[in-house]
Amino acid sequence: MGNGMTKIIDGLYLGNYHDSKDREQLSRNNITHIVSIHDYPKPELADMKYLCLNASDCSSQDLTRYFKDCVKFIHECRLKGGGCLVHCMAGISRSTTVVLVYLMTVTELGFADTLAAVRTVRTHACPNCGFQEQLQHFERYSLKDMRLWLRLEFGHNPFNDHIAVGALLISSARAIRHDTSRVGTRSASYVDTYTQRSGYSNSRLK
């Protein structure tokens, strides 16, 4: 997929293999760290810090063993004021899975809601069925512990990530209000919270 890397929240971008070598994009978006997750990942640029993860885009591939390292790598990057690009080959499945794990950890949202948020800015984001099952299992059994670990490891999260995700969802607020089953009821609550804090009136969303 073309069209360049996509900003998800401050300091976090989602893209493809081409984006990871595009100097103009990397510079424009202040990318300092790269999570490279595909079949043959390796550091490509000397001035970037890499987390290289060998993983195929098949439903039997286990990505859960990488979740904690990814969250730590991305969060450390953002705390240092840098930008992190997460990419696979097409910027659709593996990289989206990593981004969703991070968003779930730094907000109160789950899998369905974070995927809906990401799709408002990157419509073709779509983890394969195996990765979706892993994300759902992570949400159900491991997410609470991951959030606790993040707080103990790094202390207070200085970013307003829940507000940023609300901003992503605001663009699809009409759909959420008319069909909350598409994205999960917590998304609608996030939209309400965001609109209240940012001064949007309900009439502007109808």
- The residues assigned a catalytic role are 88
Q: For 96-116, give the secondary structure using H, E and C.
A: HHHHHHHHHHHCCCCHHHHHH
Question: In the numeric block, which tokens belong to residue 13?
Answer: 């971008």
| 3-state secondary structure at position 54 | strand
- The Cα-based distances of 8 to 116, 142, 189 in angstroms read 12, 23, 20
Phi, psi of 2 (to 5 degrees): -95, -145
